[in-house]
Structure 1
Amino acid sequence: MSASPKGFRFATVSAGFRKEARPDLALIVSDTPATAAGVFTTNRFQAAPVVVARENLAARPVARAVVINSGQANACTGDEGMTNCRTTLDLVGKACGIPAAEVLPASTGVIGAQLHMDKWREAAPRLAAALGQNTHHDFARAIMTTDAFPKVAERELAIAGTTVRLVGMAKGAGMICPNMATMLSVVLCDAAVTPEAWQRLFLDAVDRTFNRVTVDGDTSTNDTVFGLANGASGVTVEGDDLAKLGEALTDVLARLAYMLVQDGEGATKVMRVKVSGAVDDAEAEAVARTVGHSQLVKTAMYGRDANWGRIVAAVGRSGASFKAEDVVVTLCGVELFRNGQPTDLDFDTLLREPLKGRDVAVDIELGAGTGHYELLASDLTHDYVNCNADYRS
């Protein structure tokens, strides 16, 4: 386990936002103003904290704190929800002695539920008093909803002879199809980076990681990724070292993205759908997403069924351009389909053991060009239905 990036403190408390007694309010405070970046959901119904965080970052890409509550999403809550969100920043800012405009909010939970402001007023001073008593692992636990486990990824790298540290925390198990995974993430870094470079690195890393996963094809109203870089290591990242930092950031987000799919509600499999030979990358993405979102493909993977017909049917309705006879489908290294028909391999026997594993490789060659795309997708199980049928009850 790596040490946390320098200059950040953590606090979690139980505010009573959820039915069970557990930490449900989490705070990160940087000892000094940090360069801040944000990437948000493209859902047209954007939660109040998404709107407010966008406004804060647009006004000034600097932050001192991130506060996240679990229990109420504060989405589709109208003017009252917007007012409540801004009030929570005032409460936390006052308790911590920092400007409310430098606090970034995020929320997760039931859509349409208003924040419990009486509980916020009681909890904010306790949250501030707890700063430094918790770790980034505690923070990851406090923001969980239906998650089975906390999601944390750490990375160290050497720049200018000094160790720079990154840590990422995320939550998400259902309503995962980030399009910027309900999915929230915060990444902290103790290097100094210009706002323009930091945001650019984040956009690229999110596009290559969080934007390439799906559990159920649903994009949340609350998807948010924050990044804070406070310079506490004494290192300023610039020039050629930006690529090095970008690689480390992408690695952190990639590991978190894998965990989101691994922890898909009731999931037992992580499908790595790789599409190559498309006319272009956009068509490769269309094929990968059609296969990864297919309920028939997902249930076949849960049932350990080498049902190539479901995969081929999904490819065929993706809208991509190709000749049917050029398509090759391979599952866990076993070629199932070529020349418009199944191969003569005994793939049920060959795949009996591989399909018992967690990771399932689905490789699709279209033979129409050089476009390629990769998507992580979960399977679909009885437990997913049970979890979501009972979510509000």
Structure 2
Amino acid sequence: METASEKQPQSLPKGFQWGAVKAGIKASGNLDLAIAVAPGSATAAAMFTRNQVVAAPVTVGRRHIASTGGRVKVVLVNAGNANCATGQPGIDACLQTCVAAAETFHCIFDEVFPSSTGIIGVPFPAEKIVDALPEISKTLGDTPDHANLFSRAILTTDTRMKTARAVVQIDGSEITLFGAAKGAGMIHPQLGPPHATMLVYLFTDAVATSEQLQSVLSPAVERSFNSISIDGDTSTNDTVLLLASGASGIKLNERSQEAFTNALNLVCKSLAHQIVDDGEGVGHVVTLHITGARTPAEAKQIAKSIAHSPLCKTAWSSADPNWGRLLAAAGYSGVEFDPGKLTVHIGPQPVFEFGVRSPLFNEATAHAIMKQREYTITLNLGQGDAECQFVTCDLTEEYVRINADYST
């Protein structure tokens, strides 16, 4: 029987090695160059930001995935410099690092998948990465400590690593998944198929084609990373990469794909939640549960309108149950609904019912619920069976302080 379940950190997919070094890109002197290597190569699927302004590694990564038919051997990630708005010199510098990595790890240059995160518009120090490659090759390994090195090196304003694991049991054998992510600000991912930043790297030892991986990655991303927002800003560098080494020997097929999909969803949702929970200055994590919609798209449209409202987000920061702001944000979302059919709850507390404040509304109770680190706000539109859950957060003075001084 096939099942998907969370697994302890010791469980990692076979067929990968991870490592990291200090290349001198971050002013802090912390780890800033991470690498993942599939010695036997891996198949890949990727999704990238839909921002029209994209970083050089997004452009190069798209090209490499297309030119190899979804084959990747090396993932090279730097933190501290986004290599965005750097023009052709940025593209050239990115390619320079890919060529150097290919020489170091004995593959062709377009089997190297690059990523960058950090400040936009700063010339990219390719030479620091090239110089660090001999040293980073010495750090490679397949233990949890090595995976943690990778996970720490990709961080920028994050305060902690974001990792998740799951295992699929199939007739006594296992497919393992491991995910590492970074992101704390400039988080409102709008990821599409190949066509401060969120970067997500997903590793599995399943046997799968690039097309199979893409077919399971796209819906998993829609339910997780495309259903979160910290500040409403979509980064120029957002990337989600799924790699399959095939080292388990277990193929994705009719028997295994459902369980694998469940495991992938579990990992993606965990990482997405961790990103919001570690958002810049976040004091409260708020799940917006929009129900009774005509379509999932309309439910998400209303959720985004509320999640991006400065008035809602600042009210959440002080646990102020100013529910009128929720109604206003839903009302200008562009989705048509009848306010007379709408109900709103903060946690289990009714606040609005069928056009007026609920007779059961208790401001003190709602305030107490909103003082919790996490809670749910539910809006039932009363016009259908569709719904969505969208995870967001408050907007605090600490967020303003971090982003007012980010580049200086």
Q: Fold-level match, TM-score > 0.5?
A: yes
**Equivalent in 85, 88, 96 of residue 79 of structure 1:** 88
**Within-5 A mapping of 1:292-303:** 292-303=307-318
Report what 1:17 is aligned to.
25
Report what 1:173 is aligned to.
184
**Within-5 A mapping of 1:116-131:** 116-131=125-140
Give the SS at the match of 1:330. strand
Report what 1:43 is aligned to.
51
Give the TM-score of the pair, scaled to structure 1: 0.97
> Conserved in 2, the CA contact under 8 Å of 1:7 and 1:32?
yes
**Within-5 A mapping of 1:48-67:** 48-59=56-67, 60-67=69-76
Report what 1:188 is aligned to.
203
Report what 2:269 is aligned to.
254
1:272 counterpart = 2:287:
yes
Give the RMSD, CA atoms, in angstroms. Answer: 1.3
**Within-5 A mapping of 1:160-239:** 160-180=171-191, 182-239=197-254
- Per the TM alignment, residue 353 of structure 1 is displaced from its structure 2 partner at its CA by 2.9
Whole-Å separation in 2 of the counterparts to 1:22 and 1:95: 23
1:159 counterpart = 2:134:
no
- Per the TM alignment, residue 356 of structure 1 is displaced from its structure 2 partner at its CA by 2.0
Cα deviation 1:139-178 (Å, max 9, x = unaligned): 1110000001110001112124211110000000000000
Paired amino acid for 1:72: N
Whole-Å separation in 2 of the counterparts to 1:339 and 1:66: 53
Q: Which moved more, 1:369-378 or 1:136-145?
A: 369-378
- Per the TM alignment, residue 216 of structure 1 is displaced from its structure 2 partner at its CA by 0.5
- Per the TM alignment, residue 346 of structure 1 is displaced from its structure 2 partner at its CA by 4.8
- Per the TM alignment, residue 333 of structure 1 is displaced from its structure 2 partner at its CA by 1.0
Give the SS at the match of 1:311. helix
Report what 2:153 is aligned to.
142
Whole-Å separation in 2 of the counterparts to 1:213 and 1:329: 20
Whole-Å separation in 2 of the counterparts to 1:280 and 1:18: 44
Paired amino acid for 1:41: T
**Gaps in structure 1 of 5+ consecutive residues:** none
Q: Which moved more, 1:222-231 or 1:350-359?
A: 350-359
- Per the TM alignment, residue 50 of structure 1 is displaced from its structure 2 partner at its CA by 0.6
Whole-Å separation in 2 of the counterparts to 1:374 and 1:236: 31
Whole-Å separation in 2 of the counterparts to 1:184 and 1:144: 9
Report what 1:365 is aligned to.
380
Cα deviation 1:76-113 (Å, max 9, x = unaligned): 11100001111101111111222211110100000111
Q: Which moved more, 1:347-356 or 1:7-16?
A: 347-356
Paired amino acid for 2:392: A
Paired amino acid for 2:340: E
**Equivalent in 275, 278, 285 of residue 263 of structure 1:** 278
Cα deviation 1:270-296 (Å, max 9, x = unaligned): 111011122322221111110111111
Whole-Å separation in 2 of the counterparts to 1:85 and 1:167: 26
Cα deviation 1:55-82 (Å, max 9, x = unaligned): 1111121111111000110111110000
**Gaps in structure 2 of 5+ consecutive residues:** 1-8
Cα deviation 1:236-280 (Å, max 9, x = unaligned): 221131111111011100000001111110001111101112232
Give the SS at the match of 1:353. helix
Cα deviation 1:13-67 (Å, max 9, x = unaligned): 0000011111100000012111111010000111110111111111121111111
**Equivalent in 286, 302, 310 of residue 325 of structure 2:** 310
> Conserved in 1, the CA contact under 8 Å of 2:207 and 2:246?
yes
Aligned residues: 393
> Conserved in 2, the CA contact under 8 Å of 1:321 and 1:368?
no
Whole-Å separation in 1 of the counterparts to 2:265 and 2:284: 23
> Conserved in 2, the CA contact under 8 Å of 1:12 and 1:24?
yes
Report what 1:345 is aligned to.
360
Identity of matched residues, % = 38
Report what 1:92 is aligned to.
101
- Per the TM alignment, residue 204 of structure 1 is displaced from its structure 2 partner at its CA by 1.2
Give the TM-score of the pair, scaled to structure 2: 0.94
The ranges of structure 1 where at least 4 consecutive aligned residues each deviate by more than 4 angstroms after the TM superposition are none
Whole-Å separation in 2 of the counterparts to 1:330 and 1:187: 36
Whole-Å separation in 1 of the counterparts to 2:349 and 2:55: 44
Whole-Å separation in 2 of the counterparts to 1:63 and 1:378: 35
> Conserved in 2, the CA contact under 8 Å of 1:45 and 1:221?
yes
> Conserved in 1, the CA contact under 8 Å of 2:23 and 2:128?
yes
Paired amino acid for 1:175: M
Paired amino acid for 2:201: V
Alpha-carbon spacing, 1:160–1:103, altered in 2? closer, same or farther (3 Å): farther
Whole-Å separation in 2 of the counterparts to 1:31 and 1:162: 22
> Conserved in 1, the CA contact under 8 Å of 2:86 and 2:124?
no
1:132 counterpart = 2:134:
no
> Conserved in 1, the CA contact under 8 Å of 2:351 and 2:361?
no
